[in-house]
Amino acid sequence: MKISCKETQFTYNIYHIVKAFFPDAEIEQCVDAEQESLVILEMDGGSCFSVAGQGVLGDRKRSVTRQVYDYLSELTGRNLAWGMLTGVRPTKLAMQMMEREKDAEKAAEILRKEYAVTAQKAKLAVEIAGREQVLLESLDRRDGFSLYVGIPFCPSICSYCSFSSSPIGLWQGRVEDYLDALCKELAAIAGLTKGKKLNTIYIGGGTPTTLKPEQLHRLLSWIDEQFSAHMGDGNLSEYTLEAGRPDSITKEKLEVIRSFPVSRISVNPQTMQQQTLDIVGRRHTVQDVKDIFHMARELGFDNINMDLIAGLPGETAQEMRDTLRQIEELRPDSLTVHALAIKRAARMGQEKQSAVHLQSEIEAMVEVSAESAQRMGLLPYYLYRQKNIAGNFENVGYAKVDKAGIYNILIMEEQQTIYAAGAGATTKLVLPHKIRLENGKETNLIRTENVKSITEYIRRIDEMIERKHPPGNHYGQKARPI
């Protein structure tokens, strides 16, 4: 299958729309400025479709994407759940529509008619966007900020993982060096944000609980020392620490965490099927998950999230139902259900199972997860989608009314500055006004990334700190207000 676009602005959307309809296809892509048509699809079997370069009204990219979507929908006899949407943040679009239309039903209607989103997903998008709006209104989005702290170590690397993390066993001799650099960066962020309100803290990774108890205490004490003034007067709405891997959690570590104002933790099984845990490299048992969860409850943690992944190797909706049955017995305060990207599944030995078949299984898993969440009294409160997946899957967070993960919403909706510290962490500066960069782009959102290499992060920590200064001559790009 071949895609030829006249302009580069069409390549991303068209590729992902075609891939969603034909997840098993090998796709060749090129840009040809000399061709007359805006887009040409050459299908396997000899059929061809083109979008004319004349008569395209309104948003050209959206119009072209819709024409390709309609053609493929008619060709295959299928409608995609999220229609022609290819971005990872469909609720961001829903929220913009609700703010403009002041009417949730009208916003859902636009998603259905203009973007070909199914009625079920359009309803879900505006429902979540409505909950997000309420939570965001409680924050100071202009003068407040959030803090992300990354710990790039794990007990072992799961076969499905694409995050920047390394086995803790290989880095034991340099963890203190990493914490030295991390604490230096955190102190610099505290200085940059002096006088600002700190609304949420999220310590993720990796697996933060790979740190020894005394190392955890060192990190949490430093955060408390550097940012106590920012948290004052009830500014801090949420403080999350991903305990994550049950094989990294001990009672002593939970007691350390409990001695600080951490209000939310995660205990993430991913699945409650022991055979699957063994296959993907999770070095814990199903019983470990239950024991750690109960231990956390006994120590007073009253906001515990659990993560599940739909589409792990060998699992079907039947295994997911059994996993959810066991999760329901634990009654977590929130549940996040991730749909596994097909390309990652292939690396775990799923290549013998067609992507189309796996797609139908994941869809069923997502549906039974939503039903389970409803039985536990958990409501959908945030949603995002993955890139490079076969089909229109979504990852959904469900929570009790007062236990939604606020940071999760902020990272998706990009309406508040998030300062991020640690190897591979990305800071997002949300400016009060748009600026024009030297390349001509206008934006009020500036992203700056720390290097992923742990060694380079330690060595170049001063550079990582310098990158976080507000734009003027930011990250090598001159900018000015507009």
Residue 199 has pLDDT above 80, yes or no: yes
Mean pLDDT of 457-475: 81
Measured between alpha carbons, how far is 70 from 55 in angstroms, rounded to an integer? Answer: 17
pTM, two decimals, is 0.88
User: Is it the case that residue 170 has pLDDT exceeding 90?
Assistant: no
Radius of gyration of the chain (CA): 23
| 386 has a pLDDT exceeding 70 | yes
Examine residue 81 and state whether it is found in any structural domain, yes or no: no
- Classify residue 221: in a domain, yes or no: yes
pLDDT at 347 over 50: no
How far apart CA 160 and CA 365 sit, in angstroms, is 17
- What pLDDT is attached to residue 120? 92
- CA dist 376 and 367 (Å) reads 15
Residue 454 lies in a domain: no
pLDDT for 302 beyond 80: yes
Do 292 and 212 share a domain, yes or no?
A: yes
For residue 391, what pLDDT is reported? 53
Q: How confident is the model at residue 389 (pLDDT cuts 50, 70, 90)?
A: low
| pLDDT of 274 strictly over 90 | yes
Mean pLDDT computed over every residue of the chain: 88
449 in any annotated domain? no
- The C-alpha atoms of residue 412 and residue 251 are separated, in whole angstroms, by 33
Q: Determine phi and psi for 273, rounding to 5 degrees.
A: -105, 115
Give the residue, 436 or 388, on which the prediction is more confident: 436
Question: Which residues neighbour 198 within 8 Å (Cβ) at sequence distance 6 or greater?
Answer: 144, 145, 146, 147, 227, 230, 231, 235, 236
Prior bond of 440 cis (ω within 30°): no
Domain extent, residue 122, equals 90-136
User: How many C-beta neighbours within 10 Å does residue 215 have?
Assistant: 18
Indicate whether 122 and 169 sit together in one domain.
no
Residue that is written with structure tokens 């580069």 in the block: 8
CATH of the domain at 380: 3.80.30.20
In this structure, is residue 429 part of a structural domain? no
32-36, 122-126, 435-439, 472-476: least confident range = 472-476
pLDDT of 387? 67
pLDDT at res. 440? 75
**DSSP bridge pairs for 478:** 473
pLDDT at 58: 53
- Is it the case that residue 7 has pLDDT exceeding 70? yes
The answer as to whether 436 is a domain residue is no
Whether 286 and 166 share a structural domain = yes
**Is residue 230 pLDDT above 50, yes or no?**
yes
446 within domain boundaries: no
Q: Are residues 40 and 116 in the same domain?
A: no
Residue 460 has pLDDT above 70, yes or no: yes
Return the pLDDT at 346.
40
In tens, the pLDDT along 310-327 reads 988 889 999 999 999 999
- Do both 156 and 116 map to the same domain? no
Instruction: Taking residues 350-371, report their average pLDDT.
Output: 73
Residue pair 1/22 in contact by the 8 Å Cβ criterion? yes
For range 289-300, the mean pLDDT: 97
Measured at the CA of 174, the angle between CA 172 and CA 179, to 5 degrees, comes to 110
Say yes or no to pLDDT of 473 above 60: no
Specify whether 105 is located in the same domain as 178. Answer: no
pLDDT recorded at residue 378? 98
